[in-house]
Amino acid sequence: MQKMNKIWFKQFWPWFLILLPMAAVVGGISTLIIANNNKPNMVADDYYIKGKAINSDLSQLKNAQRLNIKAEIQQVNDQIVISLGGVKDNSSIYFSLFHSTLADQDITTLLTADAQGRYHFDTGSELKGKWLLRIEPFDKSWRLQQTVQLPATTINL
């Protein structure tokens, strides 16, 4: 009986041996694309300038303590309501939320007070996770800040 040889591309083993390196190439390219699109943003290029700015941050925090400025923050669904105590006027404030790991979710906005002296911020959706919350007046003479876990009903600074 005569043995008949199949053509190479109709056999199992050549395709199996080609498939293994091709899977590694596809996986490597996918990993490269994912790593390129999700770069870490933890390292600051201007670390020296940011390090020097820490001293001014501390003086602003101490100034808020000296002036006995307090804040009560309430989160109700998609809105944050801020009530300040110890301030003489209801001038505009900068309200900032910095996400602990995702810089593209950071929020900074200028808020004005309503007739009752409260500041309202519409978040668009309920915020969740660990955030650094910061409140500063328009002239940046003092600062309140605290790391908070959201959602929370009431936060006192």
- Contact by Cβ (8 Å): 102, 120: no
Residue 56 pLDDT > 60: no
In sign, the C-alpha dihedral spanning 23, 24, 25, 30 is: positive
pTM score of the predicted model: 0.60
**How do residues 14-37 score in pLDDT, each as one tens digit?**
899 999 999 999 999 999 999 988
Torsions phi, psi for 65 (to 5 deg)? -65, -40
CA-based R_g, the chain, Å: 28
pLDDT band at 133 (very low <50, low <70, confident <90, very high): confident
Q: What SS3 class is residue 132? A: strand
Q: How far apart are the first and last CA of the chain?
A: 92
